[in-house]
Structures are given as C-alpha cells and as structure tokens.
Structure 1
C-alpha cells in the first residue's frame, strides 16, 4: 500500500519514506509519517498555483505554452532574492532576514540559500536569457529553518522551503543542486507545466535534476567529464550508506542503506517501474531521461549548459504537451537540436543515439 499521497515537488522521494516506515524504529516511523502529512499539504498548495504560467492560445482551452514565448521576455534581468527564517515553524514565508544586496548574515543556511539562488538565477539569465523563475523577474522567495528537524525541501508553487534535517538521516537541504532543482520546478510550472503523474511527472523531475546538476557544474567550473552527476550530494546523514539522492551517471547506485533501502532508479526502459506509488514513480523513472541527458553530454563534451542544456531548455519551452511521454520529450529534443544545430548535425545524431541507449527510439 502506498503511504504517500502525491508529495509534489519535494526533494526527498516518497519511496524513501515508504522504506523508512517499514524499516525504521518508532521515532523514524513517526518522522516519516509526519513528512507524508506535510507533503499532502504541499501538494494542495502546489495544486492551487498550478495554473500560473499558463496563457490562453489559439490552440484552444487546456493548451499549455511558455509565458515567455507567448508574451515576450522582459528586457532587463534583475535578481530579487528574499530569504526568510522560518524559525522552525510551519508558517511560510517567515521573517525576512536577507534581501537582494544585503550583506551575509552569518547564518550558514540563510547565506547558502541566498548564494545558491544567485547561481540559479545567473544560469538561467546568462545562458538561457530567462529572467528569473517566470521569465519576468519573479522574486526568488526562500525559507530556511522550515519546521523543526524537517527532513525535506520543496517548491510549493510560489516559493522554496528547506528543512535543516535531523542530523542523522539528513543533515542539510541548502545544497546547490537541491536549490536549483526546486527553483527549476518553478521554471517548469511557468513554462507550461508537465503534469505530475507518470512519464510527464518523471520528465518534470528529470528537468529539475538536469538543471540542478547543471547549476552545480557551472558554479564549480566543471565540464561534463569532471562532474560527478550527483543530485543532493552531501545531504545524507553521516551514518547513511550513500553519496546522494540520485546519480544521473549511474541511476540506481546513489545509495544502498539498511534504513533507506536501495536506490530504485532505472537507467533503461527495460527496467521501467510500473507503480501506483509516487504518482506513478515520478522520482524513480526520472532516472531514464536523466541518464539520456548524461550520455548525450558524454558524446558532446564541453559544458552541460551549452549545447545539451540549450536543447533541453528549448524543448521545455516548446513541448506544448503537459501529458508528454518520454517518447514525446525525446522527439521534442530532437526537433530542438535540428532547430539549433541543423538536420544531420553531430548534435542531432548523437542525441538520437543517447535516447536509443536508454531504450527510446526517435
């Protein structure tokens, strides 16, 4: 029985909570159950905002398009970061403790959230000509110290929130790939959206992982061969047997722990997980498009935010299908590669090969 009810856009996947409910002691089970209840609340908040970023088009009702494409992006890009202290309470956003241009506070969580949001803003602005989350300079609102010992981070449709972790299972959530992952869920929302169910939901998660890893690599000046391709590196507790939440290089190998279980992500369609849990396995099957992006980067070399990233970003802006399957997404990336680099280009041919290697023919 699935113990989780659609924890939309939380970084810790529900299959981890399911395993903790089965394997943990009384305190761990209580913690996991509490996380599930909070996730339900996040889901409801997120659903209330799911229409933002969608504009009507001539294609008819229910057609999703990027606001930036439909209305035109703003000329000037201005970063507006607002970091709040939740003071271990549930209310959002909490007390504003650092605004744009303010000096460092000395609170590591506050300052990491501020700096991380700047890295994400710069990636989207400088490499993809996108002005913040919505393309129009939306303030980047974040809350740190959310709830007491809270083992998660999420995007709720309007802002990010990060727990401090309990110091045992998780120890921080203001890690750059996590920050970029959550902000990128907002980018998906304001680019027409990918319904958080089944393959479209896994694509939503994968896009957030891709841009989380990309932000980390750009911040550290790493090319695709130097990068470790981990998402959530360093957030696991000191006694947890694992290196991250997910590995794009080798899905299924990020952790193997007595409490958290074995990383269940597949790397190929032959191992696609059919499940009713986790909205049809959105955090699990995202390993397949994640691995396709990794393989593509290995073929092209250089920086992930250059040719591969440009193709993925353009595909998101033009997919115009909130129920997109992996095959739909792969075909859209192929179209983007042709538009950007030409039919018969090396970029196009290697992209087709990368998708074929994970079991998706285009």
Structure 2
C-alpha cells in the first residue's frame, strides 16, 4: 500500500482558494472552567508582529499538542519533533507551529471556554514541512497540516499565525455546526474560520476591533508579489492585485454573489460577504473582537440554530439571536451586505454544470482559492487509456469535502463530471492531472 493509499481514508480541509492555484502552482503542483481558570494567569502574551515568528512563546497547561515533521513527504503525521514544554528546535516552521497552537488554544480556552477543537481537551496534532514546495495548509479531520510554500509566490504557511488559527477553527466548526463545505454553508465555514483567525491576530497585538487591520494571511505572499494579504475582511476584493497571481476576486455583498461550480461553489469567493458582515458587527459592538462579535459568532455556532446546510440568512438569524443587547447592531451589519436574517433550515449549496468539451481537468479550492483549469483534445492527446482508468469509476457516495481541500474535477464530453478530493485521488487520476496540465502548459 502506498503512502497515498494509506492516507486516503483521512479527509482533509485546505487553505488556498482555487483561482490562486491556477496562477501559482502550474502543472507541478485547521473548555472546562478549571482549565479556563488555570490559563487566566497566562494572559498577556506579548506580540509585536503578526507572524508566528514574532509571537513570544509561553507555557500552556492544556490541552496537549504535538508538532510533527513530514520531511517534505506527504506521509502523515510524520516524525514528532516538539511537544509542550520542549525548548525551541531552531526549525522555524516547527517553532512557529508550536507558538501558534499555544496562542490559539489559549484564546479559545480563555475567551470562549472551549477546551481544544472538540471542546473536551482533545490532543492537537500538527504537521509541518508537508510536501515539496507545497502551497497550502489544511485540516484533514485529524491533523493540521502546513506546506513550506514555493518560495517564489508563497512563504511557508506557518509564518502568519492567523493561518494556523484558521485551520484550527475549521476543526472547531466540524465539532459544532459541521457546516457543509459547499455553496453558502461552505462560504460560512470559510468565513467563521477567518473570523477566529482575525480575532487571534488582534488579540496577540492587543488591539480592539477598531484598531485591527482585518487582513488574513498577511506575510504569506513573498515581498515581490503586489499584495497586502490573502484576504481583507474589511474590504473584500482588495487584498492583492499582481500581474502573476491576478486580482483578488472576493465579493463583499449579495448583489455580487458568485454562482460557480468551482471552489466547491465559490466558498472562498463568497466568504467575503459574511466576512464583511462580521467586520461591521465587530466595529458596532466594539471592544476586543473575540470578546464582542467573536463571542456572538461562537455562541451562534454552538447554539443549535445553525444546521450543516445553513444559508447566510439562517446563520445571520442565529447571530442576531445570540447578540442580546447588540441584536440591532448585528442585524444592521448583515443588512449592509445584503443579507436579511431569516430563521429556518434553508440550504444554499450552489448548482451548475461544468463544460463538457474535450477533456477538462480543474483543480479548485485550497486556502488561497485559486483555480487551475486545463483542456486537451482527446482525439489528439492520446490519453484515452489513462482517461478510462481515471474517470470511468463512478463518483464515490458520501465523500466529504473538508474546508480548504484541493478538489479535482474531471470532465469528458458525454459524461457527468467526476469530482475527487485531493486525498482520494487514485494513482491513475494523479498521473492524468500531471499529464494534462503539462500538455496544456507546453501548448
């Protein structure tokens, strides 16, 4: 059994949106009262930068965590290299992950009384140095995993501490509302992860909501890329504009909602709408974001009024219901992005049919939300046998797409598209992707 096969049973949640992957990767290519009291005395983590390397480490009592090193392989979890109480290793990614998880766990414990991602003190497992030049980070249902970036467009994914908080928040979401990762519930999944990521960043910098910059993934792009960050919660669609990676395509109002089959129904594109709503709510509520609007969003998440298929309107209603004296302010924040809070189980998953000309291979999803699409003419490409092996099997039923996971869609004329999460790619499908993307690049 190959390492790919051995890991196939473990679903993943990834960080890069598909439209960035299209331009960047090319063909090679996330508590109990006693615990809260115990950690109150550890408050005041000093930080003078928003990157994990600028965060001062302090001992955290619980829950437990382990950082592993994959050694540039894709075998998980890798070798254990650092645990609580261990000194810094000198490996920047390992130490950033250690400091970042301590800070994240502390915030959830102290401000939200949540003990680890499952609320019951589960040990947190992290892996760094995943893959070679891997431009992503993800939560796979068991593991927080971080690539080193390609060194050309992206830095290592442990560098901005909010990336780690984002992936950890996906784990929290899975253990609470368990939002489906498609369409509007998927965009909510992405947005709530950004909410807690921004809350952590502001907490480390000692900022209140009005002082925060509301940038997600600041420092993730290399200095040569014209970008402030990966996303801007205060101004969706303005985080970057670069000749190579393109312009930030996020939207911030329902008037601009994107209907698409890529990126799991536009989860990274449309998450800008609830992101902007949270930013507005946090300013209106005031104070530290995690103690104000962040607490409201968390109470909504765990309060039982957010079903897995929640629409924006359903989630908005849950936040208004959890807002108490701030209900009007929260309702107004949602109204400013075109969402009318509405209770009910209505689900918005997105719809549509991918084009069916020639052979089309699309990679979407990931933390940066970039898509990579390639098409070849089957009559000229000589890929028939490989296509038959890779695309003929029916789509598995019950396969769960995790947040920030790369998803591959194979479309052959006359057949239904076959959509496969990255971790479930067969060897034949992986070879097909490599060959199609190579030929497209050389064309």
Q: Give the shorter-chain TM-score range.
A: 0.7 to 0.9
Runs of 4+ aligned residues of structure 1 deviating over 3 Å after TM superposition are 73-77
Determine if contact 1:74/1:135 at 8 Å carries over to the other structure: no
Higher relative contact order (CA 8 A, sep 6+): 2
Question: Residue in 1 aligned with 2:227?
Answer: 242
Q: Does residue 1:16 correspond to 2:49, yes or no?
A: no
**Equivalent residue of 2:199, what SS?**
helix
Q: Higher helix fraction: Structure 1 or Structure 2?
A: 1
Q: For 1:42-191, what aligned pairs fall within 5 Å after superposition?
A: 76=35, 78-174=62-158, 175-191=160-176
**Equivalent residue of 1:143, what SS?**
strand
1:145 & 1:191 partners in 2: Cα distance? 29
> Once the 2 structures are TM-superposed, how far is the Cα of residue 262 of structure 1 from its aligned partner?
1.2
Structure 2 spans left out of the alignment, 5+ residues: 1-10, 37-61, 342-443
Determine if contact 2:180/2:308 at 8 Å carries over to the other structure: yes
Structure 1 spans left out of the alignment, 5+ residues: 1-6, 35-45, 47-67
In the superposition, the TM-score normalised over structure 1's length comes to: 0.81
Determine if contact 2:229/2:239 at 8 Å carries over to the other structure: yes
In the superposition, the TM-score normalised over structure 2's length comes to: 0.66
Deviations 1:199-225 (A, max 9, x none): 000000000000001011111111112
Q: Higher strand fraction: Structure 1 or Structure 2?
A: 2
**Equivalent residue of 1:179, what SS?**
helix
Q: How many residues align?
A: 304
1:357 & 1:136 partners in 2: Cα distance? 37
> Once the 2 structures are TM-superposed, how far is the Cα of residue 74 of structure 1 from its aligned partner?
8.0
Question: Residue in 2 aligned with 1:263?
Answer: 248
Report the CA distance shift for 1:320/1:228 in structure 2 as closer, same or farther (over 3 A).
Answer: closer
> Once the 2 structures are TM-superposed, how far is the Cα of residue 8 of structure 1 from its aligned partner?
5.8
Question: Residue in 1 aligned with 2:308?
Answer: 322
Q: For 1:221-236, what aligned pairs fall within 5 Å after superposition?
A: 221-236=206-221
Q: 1:309 aligns with which of 284, 294, 316?
A: 294
> Once the 2 structures are TM-superposed, how far is the Cα of residue 97 of structure 1 from its aligned partner?
0.6
Determine if contact 2:306/2:315 at 8 Å carries over to the other structure: no
Determine if contact 2:137/2:146 at 8 Å carries over to the other structure: yes
Whichever of the two has the greater Rg, that structure is 2
Q: Does residue 1:348 correspond to 2:327, yes or no?
A: yes
Determine if contact 1:74/1:136 at 8 Å carries over to the other structure: no
Question: Residue in 2 aligned with 1:58?
Answer: none
1:15 & 1:9 partners in 2: Cα distance? 17
1:82 & 1:139 partners in 2: Cα distance? 8
> Once the 2 structures are TM-superposed, how far is the Cα of residue 270 of structure 1 from its aligned partner?
0.4
